[in-house]
Amino acid sequence: MDGQGKFVVVWASNGSAGTDTSEESIQAQRFDSDGNPVGVEFQVNTYTTDEQTDPMVAMDSLGNFVVVWESYGSDGTDDDYNSVQGQLYDSDGDPVGGEFQVNTFTTSRQESVAVAADGQGNFIVVWQSNLENIQGQIYDVSGAAVGGEFEIQTTGYGDNPAVAANSVGNFVVAWQTEEGGGTDTSRTSIEAQRYDANGNPVGGQFQVNTYTTDWQEKSTVAMDSQGNFIIAWKSDGSLGTDLDGDSVQAQYFDTGGTPVGGEFQMNTYTPADQSNPVVRMTGQGNIVVVWDSFASPTDSSSRSVHGQRYSAGAEVVFADGFEGENSP
């Protein structure tokens, strides 16, 4: 979403009204701030051989946006399994340049891609490379690579990265890992690394979770304009009230990367599994998290979608009909 509330949605489609008739394509649709479609659905990818999957999108404050995805193959240098592809667009939805390959290391798989943009349109792409480490690449507003591809995690085997940036380009990357080097030696932990706007690491890799039993997975991260950030994830268990399957946990950090308070449980409905969280933060620091729940007080048909709002500083908000955790 841009500063005026206009937004774009991307997805993988089994087919296309465009040129891609070979398995899955990447599609997109722009919307105005009232939720009305702007133009028509359009195909993002120009390389159309085999599968194009798992797209992610980031938009700056003026409405320029970038779409990244996994491609089975490439028009570039990567013809070894999956590559990471991207396409930049201006605020009118017109392509800026052509589809480009993000990764320069081309051995084995490049997947689980994520992207974040700052207020000026610079953006950072992160992904899992060769099934074991987290890589990143920074781009300027024109879509030109800034420096080269770089490795983000320093210990362990990284998977499922997430990234968030603030208005001036500082960013934080979170991921799940085995053998992260911290206190969590039970299966997987959630790790993170902070960076300044020039892509320089700020401090070292650090463990996010304090509850260390079994699996900590599928992290999601958001940052406000000042650089406060929150990381949420799926936990197999909880230090809180949820002792029944998976819970949604989070940790809030200030602008210096210092934890504020402790790890806390986001879900109040605790039967069965709570998983796949996604967290977002406004420039002023207000937070919303959504996740899927296997059961609900009102939805008894398979999975439901739950959410929780927080004010700046991660204080629970009960207002506007979204009272605590609820199913929309």
Q: Using CB atoms within 10 A of its CB, is residue 96 exposed (0-12), middle (13-18) or buried (19+)?
A: middle
Q: How many CB atoms lie within 10 A of CB 37?
A: 11
Q: So what's the architecture of 7-280 in CATH?
A: 5 Propeller (2.115)
The pLDDT-based confidence of 322 (bands split at 50, 70, 90) is very low
Instruction: Name residue 156's beta-bridge partners.
Output: none
Q: How many CB atoms lie within 10 A of CB 318?
A: 11
The pLDDT-based confidence of 130 (bands split at 50, 70, 90) is confident
pLDDT at position 220 is 98
pLDDT at position 323 is 40
Residue 62 Cα to chain centre, angstroms: 20
Position 154, amino acid: T
Residue 182 vs residues 194, 205, 232: alpha-carbon distances, Å: 16, 9, 18
The pLDDT-based confidence of 328 (bands split at 50, 70, 90) is very low
What is the arithmetic mean of pLDDT over 50-64? 96
Q: Dihedral sign for Cα 309, 315, 320, 324, please.
A: positive
Specify the length of the chain in residues. 328
Q: Give CA–CA dist 222/267, Å, rounded.
A: 18
- Residue 295 or residue 97, greater confidence: 97
Q: 296 and 269 in contact (C-beta within 8 Å)?
A: yes
Structure tokens at 29: 């649709």
What is the arithmetic mean of pLDDT over 11-35? 95
Q: Give CA–CA dist 195/223, Å, rounded.
A: 12
Position 72, amino acid: Y
Q: 177 and 156 in contact (C-beta within 8 Å)?
A: yes
- Above pLDDT 90, what percent of the chain? 80
pLDDT tens digit string along 220-273?
999 999 999 999 999 998 988 998 889 999 999 999 999 999 999 999 999 989
pLDDT exceeds cutoff 60 at 73: yes
- What residues does each domain of the chain span? 7-280
pLDDT at position 319 is 42
The pLDDT-based confidence of 180 (bands split at 50, 70, 90) is confident
Structure tokens at 98: 């052509």
> Which residue has 């490049």 as its token pair?
110
- Nearest of 296, 292, 323 to residue 309 by alpha carbon: 323
Q: 235 and 211 in contact (C-beta within 8 Å)?
A: yes
Work out the widest C-alpha separation in the chain, in whole angstroms.
52
Q: Give CA–CA dist 77/91, Å, rounded.
A: 29
Structure tokens at 70: 């996994």
pLDDT exceeds cutoff 70 at 5: yes
